[in-house]
Amino acid sequence: MHVISWWSLAWCAIPVVLIAIVYASWSGKASEILLSAARMTLQLIGVGYVLMALFDNPSPWITVTVLILMISIASWIALRPVNHQRNYLKPTLIALSCSAGLHLFISLVLVMGVETWYEPRVIIPLAGMYFANTMNAISLATERYNSELEEGKTEPKARLTAFKAAMIPQINSLLAVGLVSLPGMMTGQILSGVSPLIAVRYQIMIMTMVLGSGGCGAALMLWQLGRMQPSGPTDDDANNNNNHLAENQS
């Protein structure tokens, strides 16, 4: 396996600088991309040291604490498109926890058959992928749901449109994998010397779990948001109103 030195890693600043130039030319906010890249670098370095400590001293309590922290942060970020509405935080936590938790159980117990569920080397990378993708699905669904309601759409139509929007990235990933791209986990395993056929099995598990976790998370979130809405006209009511209007005009 090729080891990247810190000096070699400095070349990764080139794409960041290029995008910063575009930002500066078009919007005048180059600091946004520079600060984001700097934050990403510091976060990953910090996480690297934390993971090394976790791997050397596995503990169920520490693992659960890390998972709770990840869920809390992901839930808060998911609400960014709707201005972090406080009354949406509880539904987001429930949707993210239930959906990602179910698919982590399927992966660890039923598919991989791990003996120690809290092994940080296994559960934290998987949880990170499931939480991140579910977070994005919930975020897309929530933003589209609110937009559709603001445009006067009925709740069922808003829910369906929002769910379809949330599933676009998930479905696109399934269609493109292997033909357009090799996903990150599979690429990392191949670079580390794992047989491509073994890497494929892990990637199939990841892709299907991400699909299920994202879809279930979006659906559970939309179901909760629907219950929070005041009772309003349904599609049938709208159709009946249109029929009555046509009859009166005739």
pLDDT score for 245:
46
- Residues near 82 by Cβ (< 8 Å), separated by ≥ 6? 88, 142, 143, 146
Q: Which residues of the chain have pLDDT under 50?
A: 238, 241-242, 244-246, 250
pLDDT score for 243:
54
Q: Where are the domains of the chain?
A: 9-57, 59-231
177: helix, coil or strand? strand
Q: Are 21 and 31 in contact (CB under 8 A)?
A: no
- In percent, the amount of the chain with pLDDT more than 70 equals 87
pLDDT score for 223:
94
Rounded to two decimals, what is the model's pTM?
Answer: 0.76
Bridge partners, residue 1, by sequence:
none
Q: What are phi and psi of 194, to 5 degrees?
A: -75, 145
- Residues near 171 by Cβ (< 8 Å), separated by ≥ 6? 211
pLDDT score for 228:
85
